[in-house]
Structure 1
Amino acid sequence: MSARRLLTGSALALLLPASLLAGSQSGSAADDAVAPAASVSLLKKFTQRVRLEALPQIVQHGGRTAASDAARTAITATISPVHVGRRVQLQVQDGPEWRPVATARQNRKGRAQFAAATTGDGDALTYRVKAMATRGLRTVKSHPVSTARWLDATFTDEFTGSELDPVWNHRGREHWSSSRRTCSKGDPRAVSVAGGAARLSVIKDPDATTRCKVRGRDASPGKYAYRLSGHIGTQGAFSFRYGVAAARVKFQRLRGQHGAFWMQPVDGMYAGAAGSEIDVVEYFGDDHPQGGLATFMHRYDGKRRVSTGGWIRNQASYLASRRDGWSKNYHVFSVEWTPRTVIFRIDGKETGRMSGHISDVRQFPILSLIAADYEIPKIKERRLPQHMYVDWVRVWETPAP
């Protein structure tokens, strides 16, 4: 049991890949007249526009469990005009000076992205970027941003110990044909905690005495073993309205079930209900023809269910290397939720955003590995159980504008 609230960040070293490190002459902190720094800054100068944003600690890919405090802050510089390949240097304020810590190249969307320390000696850090001169564009320095806004997480669970924290409850414990779960249901036996992670599984139901026939729109020939699914949420114990929610997850390997980190309104999803279901990430298994990763948002317009979103594009670009994989290593999947927009990210890199009809009611996080009726024929029963692992979940709630 390990869920906690109002976590204070600890001192971190600047752990940046050697390939990103670059040196240059330091500049004076007096170059910037903006103080104190916020988490977002905007500069317009020399016909150029530089937007800099410091996000929470949502960068932490790797093969093993790790402390959430050791995750790195995501910093994104968005610069226009766009010049693909332009060198952008990240600098940290060090007393009266600015010290370079990393460089990145501007991509086709105009972004240069960094992973940086959150604190130094226990204090928030202040950053800026310096976009280098190139092809008619002058060198320009952004206004600074600070990590101070994200030092205290509203909610954290690192899944230490051997039991789920009471903040989590087990969901979906009945067979619901209307939810395309005729053959599976949530069950505590499909959830365990060990080694600093929660393991959510799809297993055969040991109590079943018959086999399941899939009917309706997902009808398929044959009968299948009933399944138990790991399906937990914080409904009734923790919810929030606006902010950033993140989970560090290593997904299941095979198709036949899908793992997910998602959120629902505290009063549930039904015709006429307020709010939206926000699927931060769903994974449908290795070797899926669409890559396996998807994000969605579902809401009701009167009695009509409306869904937006879909498969994440260029999924391999978010992996650390060719040997990396969504079922091989942990990655941080997050959503930034504001009154106007939801922005989805993997290890701090934006994968997509949605605007319009954004939920304005309190929501609660959910973790699940579910075998839906339409997926069950895609896996041989001898390949069960399948598992997904969740290293930690964090939420940074922000006040409504």
Structure 2
Amino acid sequence: MALPQIVQHGRRVARPNAAKAAFTATVKPIAVGRIVRLQVLRGSSWRTVDTVRQDADGRIDFGARASKNDQALRYRVVAGRFRSLPAVKSRPVSTARWLKPTWTDQFGGRSLSPAWSHRGQTYQPASLRRCSKGSAKAVRVGGGAVRLRVMRDPSRATKCPALKNGQIAGRYAYRLNGHIGTDQSFSFRYGFAAARIKFPRLRGQHGSFWMQPIGGMYPGGTGHEIDVTEFFGGTHKRSGLFSYIHRYEAGHIVKTGANISDRFLHGPGDGWGKSFHVFSVQWTPRRLIFRIDGRETWRVGGRISRVPQYLILSLLSSDYELPEIEDRQLPQHMAVDWVRVWETGR
């Protein structure tokens, strides 16, 4: 299966058109260690562009260029002979349907495009943010990226009593958060949404790329919150990276999610706060499939959102997180290189 250009790990900002297309295949029967090749059609012959070994799930993921001279390319997967198993090959697939995204923002220039609006610009105790609020002051565009910040609120000289588990956990400076969305300009239903992000390393805030339904969530509604990625900072016990969905079931909001392993990093020198990674979700009427740099991290089925969703980028400091970081460590930054949507309609 050919997927959009959602493979682009690296330390610096980059053009979204330079990202690699993702390819995923499943070879059965599963034979761990079997050599599998991705081949591209050149003229009348097939040439190998990548080679991997089959994993225990039987799935193989590749990244390769989506086009040449602005023309789509055709690929196939070939699994070599392995013990008693004969060589097999897939049918060819084309990258053509993914060459033109429905919507994109590369964050050029020095200001946000009109597609984005600022969210949550009041202190919201009900949302566990009595000490922080969204503000345009916490959003900066430059160098080919938008930088969302957690910073001190210069208009507040007093300290805020931050609550954790219903108790005052300390008093901290009031904070401004970068929190932007496309709710007033763009939404889509079914397809791929992807963002290339570098998170802040420290705990004490969480950076997110997420979507909410037009019209909001309510009992009996068919719209759900889709958290493509949320990073709460590194810990010594486990990765602080998650994907979630929130949906109503029997009149109550049910939260389903997965903690994403650090095995999706690119080696021991990589990190969610060291490099940009492309976080994406494939949304169909039957399931959501989450990926990082084209590699599947989690999938969920059942009652999937049926209404158009809009995009949100945020770096939020909830009250319960404030004890994890000192005021002197502010500001913190989350960088987003680009955001893209490929709408499929089904």
Task: Give the TM-score of the pair, scaled to structure 2.
Answer: 0.97
1:256 paired residue number: 204
- Pick the aligned partner of 1:117 from 57, 65, 73: 65
1:232 paired residue number: 180
- Pick the aligned partner of 2:295 from 342, 346, 349: 349
Q: How far apart are the structure 2 equivalents of 1:215 and 1:125? A: 55
Q: How far apart are the structure 2 equivalents of 1:396 and 1:153? A: 5
Shift in Å, 1:230: 0.3
Q: 1:27-76: CA deviations, max 9, x gaps?
A: xxxxxxxxxxxxxxxxxxxxxxxxxx110000000000000000000111
Q: How far apart are the structure 1 equivalents of 2:251 and 2:214? A: 19
- Correspondences of 1:43-82 after superposition (within 5 Å): 53-82=1-30
- Tell whether 2:308 aligns with 1:362: yes
- Tell whether 2:107 aligns with 1:150: no
Secondary structure (helix, strand or coil) at the match of 1:152 reads coil
Shift in Å, 1:380: 1.2
Q: How far apart are the structure 1 equivalents of 2:122 and 2:229? A: 24
Q: 1:95 to 1:221 in 2, by over 3 A?
A: closer
User: What amino acid is the match of 1:359?
Assistant: S
- Tell whether 2:286 aligns with 1:324: no
User: What amino acid is the match of 2:207?
Assistant: G
- Tell whether 2:37 aligns with 1:89: yes
2:345 paired residue number: 399
The answer as to whether partners of 1:236 and 1:266 remain within 8 angstroms in 2 is no
1:189 paired residue number: 137
Relative to total residues, which structure has the larger strand share, 1 or 2? 2
- Pick the aligned partner of 1:106 from 32, 54, 61: 54
- Pick the aligned partner of 2:86 from 127, 138, 141: 138
Q: Percent identity?
A: 56
The answer as to whether partners of 2:164 and 2:320 remain within 8 angstroms in 1 is no
Secondary structure (helix, strand or coil) at the match of 1:223 reads strand
Shift in Å, 1:222: 2.3
- Pick the aligned partner of 2:326 from 363, 366, 380: 380
Shift in Å, 1:174: 1.2
Shift in Å, 1:112: 1.6
The answer as to whether partners of 2:6 and 2:294 remain within 8 angstroms in 1 is yes
1:202 paired residue number: 150
Shift in Å, 1:288: 5.6
> Gaps spanning 5+ residues in structure 1: where?
1-52
Question: Which has the larger Rg?
Answer: 1
Secondary structure (helix, strand or coil) at the match of 1:220 reads strand
- Tell whether 2:72 aligns with 1:127: no
Q: How far apart are the structure 2 equivalents of 1:310 and 1:220? A: 29
Q: 1:306-346: CA deviations, max 9, x gaps?
A: 1111311xx22211121111000100000000000000000
2:222 paired residue number: 274
Task: Name whichever of 249-258 and 302-311 sits farther off.
Answer: 302-311
- Correspondences of 1:332-347 after superposition (within 5 Å): 332-347=278-293
- Pick the aligned partner of 2:256 from 308, 311, 314: 308
- Pick the aligned partner of 2:161 from 210, 213, 235: 213
Q: How far apart are the structure 2 equivalents of 1:293 and 1:214? A: 24
Count of matched residue positions in the alignment of Structure 1 and Structure 2? 346
The answer as to whether partners of 2:30 and 2:57 remain within 8 angstroms in 1 is yes
The answer as to whether partners of 1:184 and 1:371 remain within 8 angstroms in 2 is yes
The answer as to whether partners of 2:200 and 2:334 remain within 8 angstroms in 1 is yes
The answer as to whether partners of 2:206 and 2:317 remain within 8 angstroms in 1 is yes
Q: 1:237-279: CA deviations, max 9, x gaps?
A: 0000000000000001110000000000011234444310000
- Tell whether 2:158 aligns with 1:222: no
Q: How far apart are the structure 1 equivalents of 2:2 and 2:237? A: 35
The answer as to whether partners of 2:164 and 2:319 remain within 8 angstroms in 1 is no
> Gaps spanning 5+ residues in structure 2: where?
none
Q: How far apart are the structure 1 equivalents of 2:218 and 2:318? A: 19
Q: How far apart are the structure 1 equivalents of 2:204 and 2:262? A: 21
The ranges of structure 1 where at least 4 consecutive aligned residues each deviate by more than 4 angstroms after the TM superposition are none
Q: 1:332-388: CA deviations, max 9, x gaps?
A: 000000000000000000001000110000001100000011111111111111100
Task: Name whichever of 279-288 and 79-88 sits farther off.
Answer: 279-288
Shift in Å, 1:302: 5.0
Shift in Å, 1:216: 7.0
The answer as to whether partners of 1:171 and 1:233 remain within 8 angstroms in 2 is yes
The answer as to whether partners of 1:218 and 1:374 remain within 8 angstroms in 2 is no
1:14 paired residue number: none
User: What amino acid is the match of 1:330?
Assistant: F
Q: How far apart are the structure 1 equivalents of 2:166 and 2:17? A: 43
Q: How far apart are the structure 2 equivalents of 1:288 and 1:200? A: 25
Q: 1:285 to 1:102 in 2, by over 3 A?
A: same
User: What amino acid is the match of 1:345?
Assistant: R
Q: How far apart are the structure 2 equivalents of 1:255 and 1:323? A: 20
- Tell whether 2:134 aligns with 1:174: no
Q: How far apart are the structure 1 equivalents of 2:184 and 2:312? A: 12
Q: How far apart are the structure 1 equivalents of 2:301 and 2:115? A: 31
